[in-house]
Structure 1
């Protein structure tokens, strides 16, 4: 297993542990940190293992951070003035 996949698995474990802990801001601060660490990690996985594995890791990250993805989709679809 490559270093990038080990780091991606570690990211997923940390994300799940952080999700189990209580939070006053509904986990948004933790989500921002996970996104900031996850975007370069997906690039690293894609670089080392190819685009298909990169897409699998991206889908796994999006399933963990589904509410930021939902809000991004709503923000992109809203009417512009």
Structure 2
């Protein structure tokens, strides 16, 4: 296992531990922190292991951060409906 995949696994463990903690803001502060840490790790995984492994890690990360992804997709869908 490469160092980048080990870092991605540690990120996944941290995301699960963060999800178990109670939060008043619906875990949004932690989600932004995970996104800020996860994007460089994802780039590192793609650089070290290739794009197919990077896609697998990206989909695993997206399954852990479902609500930020859903909110982003809703926001994009609302912006793209230009008078339709």
Query: Normalised by the size of structure 2, how large is the TM-score?
Result: 0.93
Structure 2: how far apart are the matches of 1:5 and 1:51? 13
1:21 aligns with 2:21: yes
Partner of 1:49: 49
Count residues with an aligned counterpart. 81
Cα deviation for residue 80 of structure 1 reads 4.3
Structure showing greater radius of gyration is 2
What secondary structure sits across from 1:23 in the alignment?
coil
Partner of 1:31: 31
Q: CA RMSD for the aligned pairs?
A: 1.0
Structure 2: how far apart are the matches of 1:13 and 1:80? 40
Query: Normalised by the size of structure 1, how large is the TM-score?
Result: 0.96
Structure 1 stretches of at least 4 aligned residues deviating more than 6 Å after TM superposition = none
Task: Give unpaired runs (5+ residues) of structure 2.
Answer: none
